[in-house]
Chain A
Amino acid sequence: MIKLYIDNQPVEVPANTSILDAGRGVGIKIPTLCFIENFEAKGACRVCLVEVKGAKNLVAACSTTVLEGMEIFTNSKTVRDSRRFVVEMLLSEHNGDCKTCLRNDDCELRQLASEMGINVLEFEGEPAPQNIDDSTPALIRDSGKCIKCRRCVTICNEVQGVGALFPQGRGFYSSIGPSFAENLAAVACVQCGQCAAICPVGAIIEKDHIAGVWQAIDNPSKHVIVQTAPAIRAALGECFGYEPGTLVTGKMVSALRRLGFDKVFDTNFGADLTIVEEGTELLHRLKKALVDKQPVALPQFTSCSPGWINFVEFYYPDFLENLSTCKSPQQMFGAIAKTYYAEKIGKRPEDIVVVSVMPCTAKKYEAQRPEMSHNGIRDVDYVLTTRELGRMIKQAGIDFRSLPDSKMDSPLGISSGAADIFANTGGVMEAAIRTVYEIVTGRPLPTNQLHIEPLMGLDGLKKATLKIEGTLPEWQFLEGIELKVGVAHSLTNAVRIIDAVKKGEEFHFIEVMTCPGGCIGGGGQPRFTTNEVRKKRIAAIYQEDEGKTLRKSHENPDIKQLYAEFLGKPLGEKSHQLLHTHYKAKENLKPT
């Protein structure tokens, strides 16, 4: 243990603790703009400066580790003046207008300036050059607002391994962006939006679909339905001051009705449908391999996460065949809404508007993919992130906290607990195994609470082996088989698992979620997502699952009815047309 003094308080912390953590441990808040937990401190923004007795200059608390006997001052005049100076410099460079900035009340720079009481700009000068990159369907980058903290660079490179964002150029005219000052659409950006979720200011934001949604709602000739992804209910509350991990499913449904949606449905319905299709697909692949002895791409990879699809298309085209052909739950929902549901309510598909609420920016991209339409009609018309829904509710003057709880509409609003856990890393795999195991053996998965412990939690790479015994006659070929599954979240971990596959490690089924923690940590979720927040949202989702009597996708009565009335059987003709697709390799760089 290291003994030191912070603001004259004796403090004892383990060796290698940063001054930042040591301070936070004793209730001293040291501001930061560039720091990200669990990553090497960059020391770039310089707002965490503190005074260390005997040091020539101020030191950055994030990147300096404590030493025995250190005397640190976090609130001396020098520290206050210098931090203020740094923030004044950032403000003088910042080329944005808080009045009209989407990030406004969530902007860390604005908050800091306000805390410091900066109400006059003493140092005005040339602002950062403004270049707007709205080249992708998901994101907008505004270089004028960028404070070059490089959080996005860390996330894009070290968490996602995508490498779409870099610092480039020099000095005042340095900028953060894709190589060669290209736009995002020209490079291998997967549009996960983790950059937008971590950006302290409004320099990277989601492309706002709110106006389009209002327009649809205001159009009386349109039947506007909304679906909400599993992860929304555990996070939307944060936009209204609830603690992370507070489930707000009932209030969310009420709010959506008040916004004027004609029906409030659940992407979970699509998730249950996905499990039935994807589980069946897995069994087909296994049969092809084991019984028919035909070449077949194994392991099967999940295909729910659109950032992951983009990643495979860009970086691992050799593995495209391994991707499940299932569309994601969002798209399955849309496809069913504009066919089965349209028929049911007697509307033309073109008169139905499907709005999704997603924890994800890549879903905006997914929704407009050419693969994601049927007869020229898009499965999904608008995608709102959780953050956008939060804003929309505020725009409508709805007092979210005082709303009563209400339930989703039928028939596309009933879902199982298996669908809920799609939000968590490991959840899709667990949901699939709940169904596959029961199809194959006729018995429910014999685990505590139907959970698969090794696949839960925030470890980047998780594996489990499940011995299949006592199979039903038609699945006899699986008797005694050890089903090997793997789960990865964040794309650097996806790379790790692909590397393992390449090296010959055996897997049958692999779940990959683009974002750390899975969809609960998606790029469209309320800010600010830390591991602590991820854990709370994950716990809430499991709580939602465990609270339901319906826990398995294949037992969802509305899904059964859908097959009986419309689809026929999993992987049947209709499913093939509406619910499955194929992907193609993409070029890494298409200079504009």
Chain B
Amino acid sequence: MNTFTVSKLQSVSELIQLRSRLLNEEEQAGLARKERILICMGGGCLASGARKLKDEFHKQLHHAHLHNSVEVKGIGCPGPCSHGPVVIIDSDKTLYQNVSPGDISEIIEQHIQNRQIVERLIFRDNTDGKSASSIADIEFFKRQTKIVLHNCGTVDPLSINDYISHNGYAALSKVLCGMTPETVIREIEKSGLRGRGGAGFPTSLKWSLASKSSSSQKYIICNADEGDPGAYMNRSELEGDPHSIIEGMAIGAFAIGANEGFVYVRAEYLLAVERLQNAINQTKEYGLLGDNILGSGFSFNLEIRMGSGAFVCGEETALIASIEGKRGEPRPRPPFPVQRGLWGKPTVINNVETFVNVPVILLNGGDRFASYGTQKSKGTKVFALAGSVRHSGLVEVPIGTTLRELIYNIGGGTVNDRPFKAALIGGSSGGCIPKEHLDVPLDYESLNELGAIMGSGGLIIIDETSCMVDVARFFFEFVTEESCGKCTPCRVGTKRILEILLRICDGEGKPGDIEKLIHLGEEIKRTSLCGLGQSAPNFVLSAIRYFRNEFEAHITRHCEAGVCFREKKFNDLEIQHSASTKD
């Protein structure tokens, strides 16, 4: 453990010295260490008892007199969230899943002391029972490419020293020591990085517009107001690797000429906020944030602003209004935030994942980054794989990877091998992809062609036990509730769609309802003020496009999945029952 204190770093060479000192120490510790146990401290694993597990490991190692030779380290989310708590034995990268305190003694005795794998706890890729113990052999991990998440699962998110010893802040120091805003932006341009919030706007273009503005005050904002149902990529990134976000933002600030930045996080992300704040404090202490960073003359201050749970605040102009202390609702664009943003000043807003990519690009070069992905979409994308999929969790693949690869080879197929029905991608603003398109490459253009979007990374798999109409109703309840109410089409139109969906789900659909849904949906898209309204009907339209027969069946009161009309049937039974007891 790195326990020494550090005074403010005054120069790049001091940072390099610190890193080599940390690596040296780590090497020494590694030599003295018999084993290291990595425990996921991500939100999912914590919820299933990871903290208690970690304490228990400490206790039992102490009891076995192994506490000096076996280190227990908390890490960011390594991915297989549905199998948490997840424990990795560092030396052979064995991954244990669903570990409970009762399993600890067995792991210590069998694995740590006798180097024998505890078979019953290892990760199982396939239903046929074949399994691999090491991360290196597990399909779920093997088939992923981790650029954004490269620190998640290795670096302790609470320790700046651990981050620095994993090349942390090397990109920033490279930028500050010899690069210009123009060369930084050129590198990003070379990488082909596109905004990961969903729309895929070229990051270098956004930065260069802001950089060219002559305003003496500019801002950079990290959008961490993740809110799509089922999506938690940003949350894991914040919880698992907060320093990468800070570093990416500092580089962005340098490139556009901003000295102040904000991370806008939803207040529900308590752990993310806590870890990010901890990281910001450490970074300030080390002089990697604040005035005259590493003696370069570049100053950058960063603060957290918490949102209050309105989905629309993920929209740039609403987010800005919210930071300004106003009601979080959008205003017309143009002017775009790069022209007139926070407090009227040029402002760049990028998604968490976009920023996390930045240090990697600067360190390894844009060309290397551009070698991943497709012709038009470079790099990787993180998805939150959820729903009817065997290994739900956080996965990262090169853009252009097929949906089939993601679901079947990485995700291990559907739960209980039930027939796949659709992948719901991009949350409520996205769409559904039916089985005939399982081979679609996951890139911006191909998904758009199918009426879906890449989105921010929410990916929910449903099988034939789910009803498409019911799923559409679910997503639509969400957008209707999250509409801010400012513009007419979104405020009223979404309500009208929801009313029709609700009545179809209640078995009271009428002929012509489907046409009405399409008409309403298309008009709402065309006429709404902001991205929320413009994309609100996407899911319903997509569901009708691929599953129109289900909608039609519902209008004649038939739900193939047996999900809808249930309450009604139950009520009918109730009535019959009470009638019969009267007799």
| CB-CB contacts below 8 Å: A447-471 with B | none
| Cα–Cα, bound, A355→B93 (Å) | 91
Tell me, rounded to whole Å, the shortest Cβ–Cβ distance linking A33 to chain B: 9
Contact assessment for A85 and B523 in the assembled complex, using a CB-CB cutoff below 8 Å: yes
- Could you count the A-B residue pairs with CB atoms below 8 Å apart for me: how many are there? 111
Contacts of B516 in A (CB 8 A): 123
| Cα–Cα, bound, A90→B525 (Å) | 16
Q: Across the two chains, which residue of chain B brings its CB closest to A49?
A: B527
Contact partner of A125 (CB less than 8 A), chosen from B310, B483, B496, B534, is B496
Contacts of A172 in B (CB 8 A): 480, 483, 485, 491-492, 494-495
Contacts of A260 in B (CB 8 A): none
| Cα–Cα, bound, A58→B480 (Å) | 22
| CB-CB contacts below 8 Å: B512-541 with A | 516, 520, 523, 525-529, 534
| Cα–Cα, bound, A172→B493 (Å) | 9
Contacts of B529 in A (CB 8 A): 43-44, 46, 60
Of A163-171, A245-253, A285-293, A436-444, the stretch lying at the interface with chain B is: A163-171
Contact partner of A169 (CB less than 8 A), chosen from B331, B334, B485, is B485
Contact assessment for B492 and A89 in the assembled complex, using a CB-CB cutoff below 8 Å: yes
Instruction: Decide yes or no: A89 and B332 within 8 Å by CB, A78-B526, A82-B526, A172-B494 being known contacts.
Output: no
Contact assessment for A44 and B488 in the assembled complex, using a CB-CB cutoff below 8 Å: yes
Q: Across the two chains, which residue of chain A brings its CB closest to B533?
A: A46
| Cα–Cα, bound, A78→B526 (Å) | 9
Contact assessment for A44 and B483 in the assembled complex, using a CB-CB cutoff below 8 Å: no
| CB-CB contacts below 8 Å: A60-79 with B | 60, 63-65, 78
Q: How many residues belonging to B are interface residues under a CB distance threshold of 8 Å? A: 33
Instruction: Decide yes or no: A45 and B488 within 8 Å by CB, A58-B527, A78-B526, A125-B499 being known contacts.
Output: yes
Contact assessment for B481 and A90 in the assembled complex, using a CB-CB cutoff below 8 Å: no
Tell whether A313 is near chain B: CB-to-CB under 8 Å: no
| Cα–Cα, bound, A42→B489 (Å) | 14
Tell whether B486 is near chain A: CB-to-CB under 8 Å: yes
Chain A 504-525 interface mask (CB, 8 Å, partner B; 1/0): 0000000000000000000000
| Cα–Cα, bound, A585→B348 (Å) | 46
Contacts of B327 in A (CB 8 A): 166-168
Tell me, rounded to whole Å, the shortest Cβ–Cβ distance linking A154 to chain B: 13
Tell whether A8 is near chain B: CB-to-CB under 8 Å: no
| Cα–Cα, bound, A505→B472 (Å) | 64
Contact assessment for B527 and A90 in the assembled complex, using a CB-CB cutoff below 8 Å: no
Tell whether B226 is near chain A: CB-to-CB under 8 Å: no
Contact assessment for A125 and B495 in the assembled complex, using a CB-CB cutoff below 8 Å: yes
Contacts of B525 in A (CB 8 A): 57
Tell me, rounded to whole Å, the shortest Cβ–Cβ distance linking B108 to chain A: 52
Contact assessment for A126 and B495 in the assembled complex, using a CB-CB cutoff below 8 Å: yes
Tell whether A81 is near chain B: CB-to-CB under 8 Å: yes
Contacts of A174 in B (CB 8 A): 484-486, 491
Q: Across the two chains, which residue of chain B brings its CB closest to A86?
A: B488
Contact assessment for A57 and B496 in the assembled complex, using a CB-CB cutoff below 8 Å: no
Contact partner of A46 (CB less than 8 A), chosen from B331, B334, B520, B527, is B527
Contacts of B494 in A (CB 8 A): 171-172
Contact partner of B486 (CB less than 8 A), chosen from A58, A64, A82, A167, is A167
Contact partner of A57 (CB less than 8 A), chosen from B484, B520, B527, is B527
| Cα–Cα, bound, A93→B488 (Å) | 9
Instruction: Decide yes or no: A64 and B523 within 8 Å by CB, A125-B495, A167-B329 being known contacts.
Output: no
Contact assessment for B334 and A89 in the assembled complex, using a CB-CB cutoff below 8 Å: no
Chain B 473-489 interface mask (CB, 8 Å, partner A; 1/0): 00000001111111111
Contact assessment for B329 and A123 in the assembled complex, using a CB-CB cutoff below 8 Å: no
Tell whether A148 is near chain B: CB-to-CB under 8 Å: yes
| Cα–Cα, bound, A411→B332 (Å) | 58
Contact partner of A82 (CB less than 8 A), chosen from B329, B496, B527, is B527
Contact assessment for A44 and B489 in the assembled complex, using a CB-CB cutoff below 8 Å: no
Tell me, rounded to whole Å, the shortest Cβ–Cβ distance linking B556 to chain A: 23
Contacts of A82 in B (CB 8 A): 523, 526-527
| Cα–Cα, bound, A46→B327 (Å) | 20
| CB-CB contacts below 8 Å: A365-393 with B | none
| Cα–Cα, bound, A347→B496 (Å) | 62
Contact assessment for A171 and B482 in the assembled complex, using a CB-CB cutoff below 8 Å: yes
| Cα–Cα, bound, A90→B491 (Å) | 10
| Cα–Cα, bound, A126→B498 (Å) | 11
Contacts of B482 in A (CB 8 A): 170-171
Contact assessment for A46 and B488 in the assembled complex, using a CB-CB cutoff below 8 Å: yes
Contacts of B480 in A (CB 8 A): 171-172
Instruction: Decide yes or no: A64 and B332 within 8 Å by CB, A82-B527, A92-B496, A125-B495 being known contacts.
Output: yes
| Cα–Cα, bound, A23→B520 (Å) | 28
Contact assessment for A41 and B332 in the assembled complex, using a CB-CB cutoff below 8 Å: yes
Contacts of A78 in B (CB 8 A): 526
Tell me, rounded to whole Å, the shortest Cβ–Cβ distance linking B431 to chain A: 17
| CB-CB contacts below 8 Å: B285-321 with A | 310
| CB-CB contacts below 8 Å: B384-427 with A | none
Chain A 163-201 interface mask (CB, 8 Å, partner B; 1/0): 000111111111000000000000000000000000000
Contact assessment for B331 and A43 in the assembled complex, using a CB-CB cutoff below 8 Å: yes
| CB-CB contacts below 8 Å: B8-41 with A | none
Q: Across the two chains, which residue of chain A brings its CB closest to B523?
A: A85
Contacts of B528 in A (CB 8 A): 46, 57
Chain B 313-342 interface mask (CB, 8 Å, partner A; 1/0): 000000000000001010110100000000
Contact assessment for A63 and B485 in the assembled complex, using a CB-CB cutoff below 8 Å: no
Contact assessment for A148 and B526 in the assembled complex, using a CB-CB cutoff below 8 Å: no
Contact assessment for B491 and A148 in the assembled complex, using a CB-CB cutoff below 8 Å: yes
| Cα–Cα, bound, A89→B485 (Å) | 13
| Cα–Cα, bound, A93→B487 (Å) | 13
| Cα–Cα, bound, A327→B490 (Å) | 49
Instruction: Decide yes or no: A46 and B481 within 8 Å by CB, A78-B526, A171-B494 being known contacts.
Output: no
Contact assessment for A89 and B329 in the assembled complex, using a CB-CB cutoff below 8 Å: no
Instruction: Decide yes or no: A147 and B499 within 8 Å by CB, A57-B526, A167-B327 being known contacts.
Output: no
| Cα–Cα, bound, A49→B523 (Å) | 12
| Cα–Cα, bound, A384→B561 (Å) | 64
Tell me, rounded to whole Å, the shortest Cβ–Cβ distance linking A393 to chain B: 36
| Cα–Cα, bound, A58→B487 (Å) | 14
Tell me, rounded to whole Å, the shortest Cβ–Cβ distance linking B195 to chain A: 17
| Cα–Cα, bound, A90→B492 (Å) | 7
Q: Across the two chains, which residue of chain A brings its CB closest to B327?
A: A167
Q: Across the two chains, which residue of chain B brings its CB closest to A51?
A: B526
| Cα–Cα, bound, A49→B490 (Å) | 15
Contact assessment for B496 and A64 in the assembled complex, using a CB-CB cutoff below 8 Å: no
Contact assessment for A171 and B485 in the assembled complex, using a CB-CB cutoff below 8 Å: yes
Tell me, rounded to whole Å, the shortest Cβ–Cβ distance linking A293 to chain B: 47
Chain B 451-488 interface mask (CB, 8 Å, partner A; 1/0): 00000000000000000000000000000111111111
Q: Across the two chains, which residue of chain B brings its CB closest to A82?
A: B527
Contact assessment for A126 and B499 in the assembled complex, using a CB-CB cutoff below 8 Å: yes
Q: Across the two chains, which residue of chain A brings its CB closest to B495?
A: A172
Chain A 414-450 interface mask (CB, 8 Å, partner B; 1/0): 0000000000000000000000000000000000000
Tell me, rounded to whole Å, the shortest Cβ–Cβ distance linking B483 to chain A: 4
Instruction: Decide yes or no: A123 and B485 within 8 Å by CB, A43-B332, A49-B527 being known contacts.
Output: no
| Cα–Cα, bound, A82→B487 (Å) | 14
Q: Across the two chains, which residue of chain A brings its CB closest to B500?
A: A125
Contacts of A65 in B (CB 8 A): 334
Q: Across the two chains, which residue of chain A brings its CB closest to B525?
A: A57
Contacts of A147 in B (CB 8 A): 488
Contact assessment for B334 and A171 in the assembled complex, using a CB-CB cutoff below 8 Å: no
Chain B 76-92 interface mask (CB, 8 Å, partner A; 1/0): 00000000000000000
| Cα–Cα, bound, A168→B485 (Å) | 9
Q: Across the two chains, which residue of chain A brings its CB closest to B483?
A: A171
| Cα–Cα, bound, A47→B529 (Å) | 11
Q: Which 4 A-B pairs have the closest CB atoms?
A: A174-B485, A63-B332, A43-B332, A171-B483
20 A-B residue pairings within 8 Å (CB atoms)? A41-B332, A46-B528, A57-B527, A58-B526, A60-B332, A81-B523, A82-B526, A82-B527, A85-B523, A89-B491, A90-B488, A90-B492, A92-B492, A93-B495, A126-B495, A170-B481, A170-B485, A171-B480, A171-B483, A171-B494
* With A57-B527, A150-B486 already in contact, 9 other A-B pairs whose C-beta atoms are closer than 8 Å: A43-B332, A46-B529, A85-B493, A89-B496, A148-B486, A171-B480, A171-B495, A172-B492, A174-B484
